Amino acid sequence: MHGEEIEYVKEAYETNWMSTVGENINEVEKLSREYVGCKHAVALSSGTAALHLAMKLAGVKRGDYVFCSDMTFAATVNPVVYEGGIPVFIDTEYETWNMDPIALEKAFQIYPDVKVVVVANLYGTPAKLDEIKKICDQHHAILIEDAAESLGATYKGQQTGTFGTYNVISFNGNKIITGSSGGMLLTDSEEAANKARKWSTQARENAPWYQHEEIGYNYRMSNVIAGVVRGQYKYLDEHIKQKKAIYERYKEGLKDLPVTMNPIPDNCEPNYWLSCLLIDEDAMCKTNRSENEALYIKEHGKSCPTEILETLARYNAEGRPIWKPMHMQPIYRMNPFITRHGNGRANTNAYIAGASLDIGMDIFNRGLCLPSDNKMTPEQQDKIIEMIRSCFE
């Protein structure tokens, strides 16, 4: 927080516009349109709400298969199920940690009738959006871009949140800028924006009484939350610079360890939302994970995500595991899962040319998210780097 946020919140309070209309909402929609570069923005209560309305706009119906990023947070996928759709998970690729275009093309060979694809930009790094969009266009499928984690990131000079027919950003409490909650649906379609705005306010019709002809939702952003987001927007570029400095400091401080940072492709500029670490395969100590716990055996010169996270926690520094891929989640374990090397469900014990058939699972097993708060001082980060180095001694 920078101070101006509270002034916009006070403005909402003092003018008595505390609900889902007001100047803060109008201004946040305008700021989002102008920053991202789209024609229409609809302020909503969360990124998840925006994804849900995107599914409705895309026409997802009960029983429809929808291709989805596999390594992402569940909020990317759950809205498909809200509309009765069936997520089909597309494996990750090492170059970006995002949806693999080769696996996506294979998925269309197996399920040629699919008409909706949902791609997430993991940890603020854009997916191969041109390739994915081209594949969608060839198969006449609607692309929904989940840019919840990547606000401010660019791909080939173009802002994320503009590549899909419908796009989503988030202002949740942990995002690059925040309103404590809130999200935004972005689109170039005025008709779609008007539908989303109507649905988000319980689908009330233009009548002197409460008239409803279709199902609606209580999804509109409040003017209070919008005040916080409004005050944050001017600091977005500053936050990105701070996050990038954190990433570069980790990269330099850990460069002689058997680890790599989450990848940054040449054709994009991420927002560096989270700095992540991937331990080299031959530097992993013996480890085993169940559904809710992990065990490891300490080995000289080796480590694992669990050891590093436990070490950080002892010093009150919080890291996180990488998102557990959706096809590994108990609720989605029976859903189709497509890799570039095969169809159906991959043999997770098999390897081709040294690469796991299940790339998302491999990154989950060997990766972790490092403390990335932009309030962290260089001295605090140096201590974190020392802790990580100690795990390999």
Beta strand pairing status for 287-289 and 294-296?
Answer: antiparallel
Is 383 an annotated catalytic residue? no
The CA-atom distances, in angstroms, between 253 and each of 260, 277, 279, 281, 305 are 11, 12, 15, 20, 18
Q: How far apart are CA 178 and CA 226, in angstroms?
A: 10
Cβ proximity of 102 and 93 under 8 Å: yes
CA neighbor of 77 nearest in space, from 88, 61, 62: 88
d(CA 67, CA 159): 23
Share in percent of the chain as helix, strand, coil (round to 5): 40, 20, 40
Q: Which two tokens stand for residue 7?
A: 């002034």
Count CB-CB contacts under 10 A for residue 210.
Answer: 8
Of 56, 106, 175, 324, catalytic = 175
Enzyme catalytic residues: 175
